[in-house]
Amino acid sequence: MLSQRALEAFKTVLESGSVSGAAEIMNVSQPAVSRLIRDLEDRTGLQLFTRFGGKIVPTPEARELAVEVERSFVGLATIEKTATEIRQGRRSTVAVAAMPALAHSLLPDALVDLLVKRPNFRVQLLSMQTHNVVRQVASRQSQLGFTSPTRHEHDIDLVRTVELEYVCILPPEHPLGAKDRLRLEDFAGQSVVGYSENTATGAFLQREFGKMVNAPEVIVQSHLSTLVSALVLRGLGVSLVDPFTARSHEAQGGLARPFETDARFRLAIIRPRGMSLGPDLEALLEVFDAQVARYSG
């Protein structure tokens, strides 16, 4: 195998034009450089330099070999630069899995802010149902997950939970839009776009509607808040969503009103068991928190 030190001596002799110059640059003796060149010649079977007028002159074979040696050192320099950037948190490619309510709203905004601070950050943002987020993180296919609180205790660590107020969304020009704030009793007799019962919001609505004398009628159900918003926009009923979907709903012409209830929209931030986040993911959580503060404020 060729010695990296011998290749360095060969490259330095070419660049400096002499053994003495190479020795000074490499901070070794001239005999040491000569030995490295002889070793390289022995291992390659090539004569790399000839003497002419007291100077060493590279042979045509040396010039040809130098092209590949230069590529090799450029590659090593790139590797070293990349390692430094990773260490300093200026280069990263990570996978983040998130439930659609976040993947389609808040997280893209957070990534815009993050890339201003860390332009070399590279991320794969995956949108999927909450139980799949847990699987994705538990199997270490994603380094960070945003999902509903889970009882899954194996192979994941909880970074933290976030609680936010629910928001009621309405079709454009809906009569309930005349109120500044809405309560559960305002749903009485209304058509509602509901959620699948296996979702936290769906279970909450089903439980509360069961207590009402004049319960609302659930016209259609979905497991995604973005679909719930689309159905409400088309006049199929009213519903509850997270603050992120509510803001998007308003941007599309729908109405949104604060909803008074002790229940909260809760999300969990998870990571693979025992894995440290590192500077890039810590920075992502910092801009995520700043985005959440805008919605909760």
Q: Which domain covers residue 213, as residue numbers?
A: 167-262
More confident call, 93 vs 155: 155
pTM equals 0.65
Identify the domain boundary among 64, 87, 110. Answer: 87
146 pLDDT above the threshold of 80 = yes
Question: Is residue 162 domain-resident?
Answer: no
| pLDDT, tens only, 182-214 | 999 999 999 999 998 888 898 899 999 989 888
| 35 inside domain | yes
CA distances from 178 to 168, 204, 242, 258, 296 (A): 13, 25, 21, 12, 23
Q: Return the H-helix or E-strand segment holding 76.
A: helix 60-87
Same domain? For 67 and 19 the reply is yes
pLDDT, mean of residues 260-276: 91
Same domain, 27 and 42: yes
* 159 vs 272: CA distance, rounded Å: 10
What's the structural domain count of the chain? 3
Amino acid at 296: S
Same domain, 184 and 237: yes
Predicted local confidence at residue 277, as pLDDT? 86
CA angle 80, 86, 88 (to 5 degrees): 105
For the segment 26-52, what is each residue's pLDDT rounded down to a tens digit?
899 999 999 999 998 998 888 999 887
pLDDT given for residue 216 in this prediction: 92
Domain with 127 in it: what CATH number? 3.40.190.10
Is 267 within the bounds of a domain?
Answer: no
In whole angstroms, what separates CA 103 from the centre of its chain?
11
Cα 139 → chain centroid: 16
Q: In whole angstroms, what is the distance from residue 250 CA to residue 284 CA? A: 26
pLDDT digits (tens, 9 = 90+) for 54-77: 788 888 888 888 888 887 776 766
50 vs 42, 53, 288, 290, CA distance in Å?
15, 10, 64, 66
Task: Give the pLDDT of residue 2.
Answer: 78
Q: Is the pLDDT of residue 85 over 70?
A: no
